[in-house]
Amino acid sequence: MKVEKTRINQEIRASELRVIGADGANLGVISLSEATKAAQDAGLDLIEISPQAKPPVAKIMDYGKYQYELKKKLKEAKAKSHVTETKVVQVKIGTGDHDLNLKSKRVEGWLGEGHRVKVDLFLWGRYKYMEFSFLKERLERFLNLIPVEYKISEEIKKSPKGLSVTIERAKGGK
């Protein structure tokens, strides 16, 4: 993706521009020379804001202020964006109640932060060949310990490590 540099003053190539004045008033469609003269009279720069428009849109304002506002908008957009991760918690058939409660509290925290959580019921040796319904019940028992509302985004299924399920925060839940 190529990022175009903002053109100002003599760098603008269009012969006619839709110009917005320093006070925010629309000056209409005028020639480049008239727009440049108006910007010089105001002691400001002519900045091409929307080069793809027909005719291109330019604004009379201080270039430093324009750059500041642009950076501020980008910073706000970045702050509002939230990257979700898929966290993994692993339980085993013989995991004790206290450990299960600790793991469920950790899952509660991750869901509260907006992350998805993959819960693995780790099986090894002869446990891999136990009945699916029994193993599923063990995994559901752990899911019932989680104190926040969640929805199952990927149903319980066999995985290379055993059984796994992926959950995420319910839309209404906090």
Local confidence pLDDT in tens for the 174 residues of the chain: 445 678 888 888 888 999 998 888 898 899 999 999 999 998 999 999 988 888 899 999 999 998 999 899 989 888 877 777 899 999 998 889 999 999 999 999 999 888 999 999 999 988 888 898 999 999 999 999 999 999 998 899 998 889 999 999 887 654
Instruction: Indicate where the chain has its CATH 3.10.20.80 domain(s).
Output: 9-79
| CATH code for the domain defined by 9-79 | 3.10.20.80
| CATH code for the domain defined by 86-169 | 3.30.110.10
Sheet holding 26-31, edge to edge: 26-31, 16-20, 57-61, 45-50
Q: What pTM was computed for the model?
A: 0.54
State the first-to-last Cα distance of the chain, in angstroms, to the nearest integer: 38
Instruction: Indicate where the chain has its CATH 3.30.110.10 domain(s).
Output: 86-169
